[in-house]
Amino acid sequence: MILRSLFFIFIFVPVMIVGIPIQWVITRLGLYWNFLPFVFHTLGRIFLGMKVKVIGTPSTGKPTLIVSNHISWTDIIAIGSQADVTFVAKSEIRNWFFVGFMGSLQRTLYVDRKRRSDAARASKEMGQRMASGGAVVLFAEGQSDLGTHVLPFRSALIGAAQHAMLEAGAGEVMIQPLTIAYTRLQGLPVGRTDRSFIAWIKSKSIKQNIVEILTGGTREVTLAFGTPRPLGAGANRKTVAKDAENEVRRMLVALNRGTPLPEAAAPAS
């Protein structure tokens, strides 16, 4: 904990003091530079004691919707330290102290899932972002879970994003499953009891969750990127969502058990 505190005071904080104003000016000018968010997530990963293993390759250079399971807010740190992506988050986070501000610096898209009109607006923004060649991460379960299983993927935003991407002029749109698995804690396999100290569950406040993560030791997380597939205009959104959900579930089970991954999740050559 002492080393983490020193790292935070003498490295993390000085970088933020210099980097945040620069990123703020860049975003105010309507521009985007991923280097500073990447540095922030990388330093955050080190500070939180996370070791990230990547299997497969995130799709780049093409409009891509990455659909993933969701376990903890640390998922964002892990993904952001490895891939140039934009995140979709629930609207409440925008009003969180500091977190909402930092999210805006990375062009996070906020959506109020309780309002259909807002979902349409967010989907349009997602479409525009992907039409420019970017990748957007959607936590398709709609909430976080312990990490032992995958909740049903919600197809509404996938379908809306599909329509918006094509409307925005994206010629070839890809959808790529992503599995997040926390596999080891302090070098030992993660058991079910340990997962309550990693996942952000409803019975705990964010403050309690942060304290447990900061005092819980080194954790190893695997990001397994599946095979990107074309998301055509005529594709059935429910079928697409179900196929992605099934692939993420297969990969999660394999990663949690330490067994060989399904073929679709094998490392890219």
Report CA 144 to chain centroid distance, whole Å.
Answer: 11
Predicted TM-score (pTM) of the model is: 0.89
pLDDT of residue 234: 75
- pLDDT at 206 (0 to 100): 73
Q: Side-chain half-sphere of 88: how many Cα atoms within 13 Å?
A: 32
Intervals of the chain under pLDDT 70? 113, 116-117, 119, 160-161, 163-166, 168-172, 201-204, 263-269
CA-nearest of 134, 138, 141, 137 to 165 is: 134
Give the Cα separation of 266 and 268 in Å (integer): 6
Q: Which residue segments constitute the domains of the chain, with CATH numbers given?
A: 50-265 (3.40.1130)
**What pLDDT score does 269 carry?**
34
Within its chain, how far is the Cα of 80 from the centroid? 7
